[in-house]
Chain A
Amino acid sequence: MVHALRQIHQGLTPGGILLDVHPEPVNSRIEVWQGDRVHELGEVNQDEDHREIEDARSRLELLIDECLFGVEATDYFELREHHDSLGSWREKWAREDYRLVAPPGMFESADELLSTGGGELVIREQVRATRLRRLES
């Protein structure tokens, strides 16, 4: 990844912008929304992904330390995924190769709520977006 970041540095014009958007290393919260009612089902464990995020941040910080990029601004937001069924979420999970572990009973609770009362399964993920600027080393 350091090579990729160096490639991007070289590909940018002097003073060019790098926008890095990636999840925060915190577990996503899972809820079922039925009208005004929100059923909190807890968090999924994403420890494996968190380690990767921390590693990637370290690599980017390496290039910041080398003065290839300078951080200008950071923002945090919550990205919400709305699924109409448990199957939809699990399908995306498999497709994207997520390495998350659901606590016991979460799937069953979600399935029961959605099949009896309808609504949406909502995944709440915390995300960080950072604007960096190419510096001349």
Chain B
Amino acid sequence: MSIMIDPQGVETRAINKLVDFDGLRVLEVGCGDGRMTWRFAEMTSSLLAVDVDEEKIEAARRATPDDLRSKVRFETTDITRAQLPTDSFDAAVLSYSL
């Protein structure tokens, strides 16, 4: 069984048209298994991706390409209870998680 999501790259074009992630410190909320993370991670200067689902976070960690490991961090966090550091991110992404 196999699945391909957005093989046409429509989502990637849409989000990168709205935000230039180049050099930004980014928080991604509801990252799941990192499916959308890879659409913009490479351009960021750092990326903290969080989700409440531990299994998905583990899957995202395993799927992290070697060249992104130094700047992408996945954490199991419930954003509704988290205390984020003040003024720390240039951009935040709500990935199908509003």
Do A and B assemble together? Answer: yes
Chain A positions within 8 Å of B, measured between CB atoms, are 1, 3-4, 7-8, 10-14, 16-23, 53, 56-57, 59-60, 73, 75, 77-85, 87-89, 91-92, 127, 129-131
A1/B80 in contact, CB under 8 A: yes
Contact partner, A11, options B19, B87, B97, Cβ 8 Å = B87
B98/A129 in contact, CB under 8 A: no
When distances are taken between beta carbons in the complex, the residues of chain B under 8 Å from A13 are 87-90
B16-59, CB < 8 A from A: 17-19, 24, 27, 29, 36
The residue in chain A whose Cβ has the minimal distance to the Cβ of B10 is A77
Chain B positions within 8 Å of A, measured between CB atoms, are 1-8, 10-11, 13-15, 17-19, 24, 27, 29, 36, 79-80, 82-98
Complex Cα spacing A85 to B2, Å:
8
Top 6 closest pairs, chain A to chain B, by CB? A11-B84, A88-B1, A56-B98, A17-B91, A82-B4, A131-B18
B90/A23 in contact, CB under 8 A: no
The residue in chain B whose Cβ has the minimal distance to the Cβ of A75 is B14
Complex Cα spacing A73 to B4, Å:
28
